[in-house]
Amino acid sequence: MFAEFDLEMPNSLDEAVLALARSDGIETLTLAGGSSLMVDIRARRVVPERLISLARINELRRIEILGPRITIGSRTTVSDILRSNQVAEHGAALAASAEVFAGQMVRNVATVAGNIACGSPAADLVPPLLSLDADVVLTNASGFRTVPLADYFTGFKQDVRRPDELITAISWDVPGAKCANRFYKLARRKGDAITVTGVAVTLGAANGVCTKARVALGAVAPIVMRARAAEAMLEGSTLTVELIEEASLKAAEECQPIDDIRASADYRRHAVHMLTRRLVAGAWADLHLATEVS
Amino acid sequence: MREKAIVFEVNERQHCTTIPSHRTLLEVLRALGYVDVKCGCEKGDCGACAVLVDGEAIDSCLTLAWTVEGRAITTVAGLGNSNNPHPLQAAFARNGAIQCGFCTPGVIIASESLLRKTPNPSDDEIRFALSGNLCRCTGYTKIFEAVREMVLTRSGGVLR
């Protein structure tokens, strides 16, 4: 039933990048949880001759905080994220997206890096990570480089990763107490459903002024995108109901949704307007609550 | 494509079998006679092919057989049988949580995976754990009630 392919099972990251380096013109893909790639292979959307499985590389399955950075190893699963108090504390939107991610069996295998690497504009973990200004670490046999997630995607299912590179980690600065991070996924059901529109918002504030705004939009453009014009309207201002409404309308203007089986472009645009408004207002309220408590 | 002999355990029985590199765990299990593992959507949507690998539920249709080398697999028949049913299996039968039965092996595996990690789950945790299992007959209510009844029975009737 499947196309035939070879499979390599490296025991370490070093072995894995060496295996990627010697592709010798053989169409090679990296296999993590398989919840996306195996479906693509079965549908013959991709036809690899060789897969390199990361199943045995436990060093890539970790969540750690070093100084101001939180780092998630690329093979960390969605279930690992749900079990992590560190992610709950320092990546609230990411934890929220894991709660509406597919079903249990998929959450037990699907990885953070796989969700990025599959390149889908509907990838649930990507808007939260983008709203957190996350970086992607790419490793090959000669070293590693760090790419902001905001620069990672170049087009629909296209990215800056070279064929010999492996996503090894995702990291971001631990947000302080003066930072709020929210996510909402609009879909037919809470579980086992593909996103119609996903929005993640991060707000930072000082002295009653919004010092940082990130609005990341999923499933409304060829890539998960930032609503940069909306962000610019929010940054540097004290947020009011009117300003939040204007910025949300701007976000709806900026996105480039399509009609498909799940929703019309018009409906997605409306969803961006409503969800951005709701999440920005909620995040702004979170910040004020934090101020009152501290 | 390559072939190699893979050793793994299914329902506490050792297997050593020659498997091609592109074969899924689902295909291998059914070929070995474990036909209690069902082939549904083959996309990770329906959960009919769920098995436990070292106690954690996964979709066997998305898993290449080579990647479970040396690990312990449990199918629904490994949990219990009609003479000696697992408490979940008994609760499903008692509550009418089975109609056509096709989804049942995967649903019981998903439930068992939850209960091994969270012995006394809340209602929301039960629903969340079953979000990757599709059932076209029961409307889910009786499935949910069966898992809940088993949890309640085991915890001495303490509701969370």
Minimal Cβ distance to A109: which of B47, B58, B69: B58
Nearest to B64 by CA among A120, A35, A75, A73: A35
Question: In terms of DSSP H, where are the helices of chain B?
Answer: 25-31, 76-79, 87-94, 104-117, 123-129, 141-154
Averaged confidence pLDDT in chain A? 95
pLDDT at B159: 53
A35, A99, A105: which to substitute to probe chain B, counting the most B Cβ within 10 Å?
Answer: A105
Residues B71 and B85 in one domain: no
Minimal Cβ distance to A108: which of B1, B58, B133: B58
Interchain pair B66, A9: CB under 8 A: yes
Tens digit of pLDDT for each residue in A211-259? 999 999 999 999 999 999 999 999 999 999 999 999 999 999 999 999 9
Indicate whether B160 belongs to any domain. Answer: no
Minimal Cβ distance to A192: which of B1, B129, B131: B131
Averaged confidence pLDDT in chain B? 95
Number of domains, chain A: 3
Band (B158; pLDDT cuts 50, 70, 90): low
B28, B62, B122, B143: which to substitute to probe chain A, counting the most A Cβ within 10 Å?
Answer: B62
Q: Could you say which of A113, A141, A173 is where a domain stops?
A: A173
Q: Could you say which of B23, B41, B76 is where a domain stops?
A: B76
Nearest chain B residue (CA) to A50: B1
Least confident segment among A1-5, A268-272, B91-95? A1-5
Residues A181 and A92 sit within 8 Å (Cβ to Cβ): yes
Higher pLDDT, A2 or B132: B132
Indicate whether A108 belongs to any domain. Answer: yes
Owning domain of residue A124: 58-173
Residues A74 and A166 in one domain: yes
Q: Tell whether B26 is within 8 A of chain A (Cβ).
A: no
Chain B CB contacts of A9 below 8 Å: 66-67, 69
Residues A112 and A169 in one domain: yes
Determine what percent of chain A is predicted with pLDDT higher than 70.
97
| Residue A292: pLDDT over 60 | no
Tens digit of pLDDT for each residue in A126-166? 999 999 999 999 999 999 999 999 999 999 999 999 999 99
Indicate whether B41 belongs to any domain. Answer: yes
Residues B83 and B33 in one domain: no
Residues B103 and B128 in one domain: yes
CATH at residue A32: 3.30.43
| Residue A278: pLDDT over 50 | yes
Indicate whether B7 belongs to any domain. Answer: yes
Average pLDDT value for residue range B8-28: 97
Residues B101 and B60 in one domain: no
CATH at residue B145: 1.10.150.120
Indicate whether B144 belongs to any domain. Answer: yes
CATH at residue B11: 3.10.20.30
Owning domain of residue B130: 79-154
Average pLDDT value for residue range B48-61: 98
Distance CA A50, CA A8 (A): 8
Residues A289 and A197 in one domain: yes
CATH at residue A145: 3.30.465.10
pLDDT at A265: 97
Chain A CB contacts of B133 below 8 Å: 103-104
pTM: 0.96
CATH at residue A276: 3.30.390.50
Minimal Cβ distance to B44: which of A35, A55, A99: A35
Residues A94 and A66 in one domain: yes
Least confident segment among A232-246, A271-285, B72-86, B142-156? B142-156
Distance CA A182, CA B56 (A): 30
pLDDT at A84: 98
Interchain pair B61, A38: CB under 8 A: yes
| Residue A62: pLDDT over 70 | yes
Indicate whether A160 belongs to any domain. Answer: yes
Residues A120 and A159 in one domain: yes
Distance CA A185, CA A197 (A): 6
Residues B9 and B53 in one domain: yes
Residues B66 and B119 in one domain: no
Nearest to A253 by CA among A266, A235, A244, A240: A266
Residues A163 and A239 in one domain: no
Residues A190 and A169 in one domain: no
Interchain pair A2, B24: CB under 8 A: yes
Band (B1; pLDDT cuts 50, 70, 90): confident
Distance CA A59, CA A226 (A): 31
Residues B5 and B68 sit within 8 Å (Cβ to Cβ): no
Tens digit of pLDDT for each residue in B85-141? 999 999 999 999 999 999 999 999 999 999 999 999 999 999 999 999 999 999 999
Residues B62 and A38 sit within 8 Å (Cβ to Cβ): yes
Average pLDDT value for residue range B63-77: 98
Q: What is the ipTM of this complex?
A: 0.96
| Residue A293: pLDDT over 50 | no
**Residues of A within an 8 Å Cβ radius of B:** 1-7, 9, 31, 33-35, 38-39, 42, 51, 53, 55, 99, 102-109, 190-192
Number of domains, chain B: 2
Q: Could you say which of B52, B76, B100 is where a domain stops?
A: B76
